[in-house]
């Protein structure tokens, strides 16, 4: 077992944590949600804005280069989904331990999760770098698309250990109600990344490889700052690696929550790989339009997604404190907030659809990208309230430790609704790419109905996290 040193938390740290915990456990629920969600939203907004900036610069190179980066995104997502699963388990377990007042146990779990996550990342990074070209070839592309996609994918695999570490750092901070520090660090990293992009892509003539290298540099600085803060900053959780060795009980408990979450994320990622294969069969224009619109809607939906993430900590701490009613009330209020945000986003995107697509697709070498992008944007806008509701259901199930339900929603939306619908429209109707756009939107409705059925059954309240 791990040897635990005496916990030393300075007065300022204790006061900040107690104030945060009081807000989560007994304060105004709307205030609690906004208190946690606002920094997360700012962080995600800037990260997504960076993604759009990155797309902006890559889009200036050409539609093939842009489509190549979109094509390999699900592959990267497949690998990082494991780190996301461990991170979700960390937020759920650590928040419940803190809600129950078990800080020493939280320290032990944090230490184990950091080493376990980074170790997995190093292995996955090596596998990814070695097999990048084979993976891209298996997706059925060749020529310039194969060349650019392989370069981009191989370089993105190098930052997996950095990404996995910061996932765990985020879960440690968010579990104690501190979403401000990760936001500040991530925003700084995004600014550095945005500065490096045009410099490496154009000034040093690195093309799509420059975009990936810029990300690696920015994430390295981000992880270094996270390490320094975790051991020197004001935090309620203090990992201790003295006489470290893996604790089987802690790893097993963590995997009970991490595996369903990782399977859900991985299943979704694999589904998106197949989805991309189907989309690219319609041509480069359709793939480029799909990638651009997804980035735009992600930007608009960040407040709703931030609320969904905040609900994990709120539900977790209230479950740990045996206050199930407050956890449910928090979930219900998050549904209201995310629905309002989604409706506003829907109206704005439909109203400004032409100007938005033209702004972000600067390369006019293929006008079909513009036309298809506008069509897809209209379709997906109608389901934006449902995307926010989906995030709230995910937060509820993950916060309670019942990640098997969030897993079933992740996998079900893609494998049992989207992909079958896309195949049906492709092979049995003449609608063309519009079948993809309809399936993307309609699947959000079906899966939210499924989430509601699970919620009403109440089996998710059988806590398994601690």
Q: How much is the pLDDT for 55?
A: 75
CA distances from 12 to 15, 166, 277 (A): 5, 24, 53
CA distances from 370 to 50, 63, 65, 373 (A): 21, 11, 16, 5
Q: How much is the pLDDT for 18?
A: 62
∠ CA 41-47-48 to the nearest 5 degrees? 85
Nearest to 63 by CA among 295, 289, 375, 354: 289
Q: How much is the pLDDT for 394?
A: 93
Q: How much is the pLDDT for 65?
A: 83
Instruction: Supply the DSSP symbol for 418.
Output: I
Q: How much is the pLDDT for 285?
A: 80
Q: What is the mean pLDDT of residues 92-119?
A: 89
Q: What is the pLDDT of residues 355-412, one digit of tens each?
A: 888 776 655 556 777 888 888 889 999 999 999 999 999 999 988 888 889 889 989 9
Give the span between the Cα atoms of 461 and 101, in whole angstroms. Answer: 20
Residue 286: how many CB atoms within 10 A of its CB?
Answer: 23
Give the span between the Cα atoms of 377 and 142, in whole angstroms. Answer: 28
| Two tokens, residue 18 | 């107690």
> Which band of pLDDT confidence, cut at 50, 70 and 90, is reported for residue 20?
low
Q: Are 189 and 219 in contact (CB under 8 A)?
A: yes
Q: How much is the pLDDT for 114?
A: 94
Q: How much is the pLDDT for 427?
A: 86
**What's the pTM value of the predicted model, to 2 decimals?**
0.75
Nearest to 361 by CA among 24, 31, 9, 55: 55
Q: What is the mean pLDDT of residues 96-101?
A: 84
Q: What is the pLDDT of residues 298-335, one digit of tens each?
A: 878 888 888 988 898 888 888 888 888 999 999 999 99
Q: What is the pLDDT of residues 286-302, one digit of tens each?
A: 888 887 888 788 878 88
Q: What is the mean pLDDT of residues 210-214?
A: 91
Q: What is the pLDDT of residues 422-451, one digit of tens each?
A: 989 988 888 888 888 999 899 999 999 999
Give the span between the Cα atoms of 81 and 78, in whole angstroms. Answer: 5
Could you give the count of Cα atoms lying within 13 Å of 44 in the half-sphere of its Cβ? 24
Find the largest Cα–Cα distance for the chain. 68
- Exposed, middle or buried: residue 80 (CB in 10 Å: 0-12, 13-18, 19+)? buried
Nearest to 50 by CA among 181, 169, 264, 195: 195
Q: Are 90 and 175 in contact (CB under 8 A)?
A: yes
| Two tokens, residue 276 | 């991309």
> Which band of pLDDT confidence, cut at 50, 70 and 90, is reported for residue 116?
very high
Mean pLDDT of the chain: 85
- Exposed, middle or buried: residue 6 (CB in 10 Å: 0-12, 13-18, 19+)? exposed
The yes-or-no verdict on residue 8 having pLDDT over 60 is: no
H/E element, 303: helix 302-320
Q: What is the pLDDT of residues 165-209, one digit of tens each?
A: 999 999 999 888 888 888 899 888 888 988 999 999 998 989 889
Q: What is the pLDDT of residues 246-274, one digit of tens each?
A: 999 889 888 888 888 888 888 887 888 78
Q: How much is the pLDDT for 166?
A: 92
Q: How much is the pLDDT for 3?
A: 31
Higher per-residue confidence, 61 vs 343? 343
């Amino acid at each position: 077992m791990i040897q635990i040193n005496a916990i030393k938390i300075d007065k300022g740290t204790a006061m900040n944590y107690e104030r945060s915990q009081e807000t989560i456990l007994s304060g105004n629920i709307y205030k609690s949600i906004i208190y946690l969600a606002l920094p997360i939203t700012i962080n995600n907004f800037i990260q997504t804005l960076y993604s759009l900036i990155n797309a902006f610069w890559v889009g200036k190179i050409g539609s093939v280069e842009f489509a190549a980066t979109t094509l390999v995104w699900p592959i990267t997502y497949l690998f990082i989904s494991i780190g996301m699963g461990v991170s979700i388990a960390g937020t759920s377990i650590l928040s419940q331990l803190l809600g129950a007042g078990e800080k020493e146990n939280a320290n032990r779990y944090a230490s184990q999760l950091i080493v376990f996550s980074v170790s997995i990342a190093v292995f996955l990074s090596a596998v990814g770098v070695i097999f990048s070209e084979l993976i891209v070839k298996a997706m059925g592309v060749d020529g310039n698309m194969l060349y650019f996609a392989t370069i981009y994918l191989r370089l993105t695999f190098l930052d997996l250990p950095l990404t996995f570490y910061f996932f765990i750092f985020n879960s440690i901070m968010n579990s104690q109600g501190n979403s401000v520090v990760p936001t500040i660090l991530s925003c700084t990293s995004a600014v550095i990344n945005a500065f490096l992009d045009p410099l490496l892509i154009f000034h040093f003539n690195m093309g799509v490889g420059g975009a990936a290298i810029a990300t690696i540099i920015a994430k390295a600085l981000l992880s270094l700052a996270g390490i320094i803060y975790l051991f020197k900053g004001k935090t309620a959780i203090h990992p201790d690696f003295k006489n470290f060795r893996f604790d089987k009980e802690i790893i097993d408990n963590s995997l009970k929550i991490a595996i369903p979450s990782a399977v859900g994320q991985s299943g979704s990622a694999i589904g998106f790989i197949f989805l991309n294969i189907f989309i690219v069969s319609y041509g480069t224009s359709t793939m480029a339009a799909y990638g651009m619109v997804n980035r735009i809607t992600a930007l608009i939906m960040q407040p709703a997604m931030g609320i969904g993430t905040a609900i994990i900590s709120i539900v977790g701490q209230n479950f740990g404190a045996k206050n199930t009613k407050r956890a449910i009330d928090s979930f219900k209020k998050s549904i209201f907030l995310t629905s309002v945000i989604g409706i506003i986003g829907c109206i704005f995107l439909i109203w400004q659809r032409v100007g938005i697509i033209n702004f972000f697709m600067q390369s006019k070498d293929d006008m079909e990208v513009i036309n298809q992008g506008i069509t897809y944007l209209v379709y997906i806008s109608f389901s934006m309230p449902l995307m926010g509701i989906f995030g709230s259901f995910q937060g509820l199930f993950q916060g309670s430790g019942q990640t098997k339900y969030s897993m079933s929603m992740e996998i079900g939306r893609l494998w049992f609704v989207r992909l079958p619908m896309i195949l049906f429209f492709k092979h049995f109707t003449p609608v063309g790419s519009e079948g993809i756009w309809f399936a993307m939107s309609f699947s959000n409705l079906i899966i939210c109905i499924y989430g509601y059925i699970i919620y009403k059954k109440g089996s998710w309240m059988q806590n398994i996290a601690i």
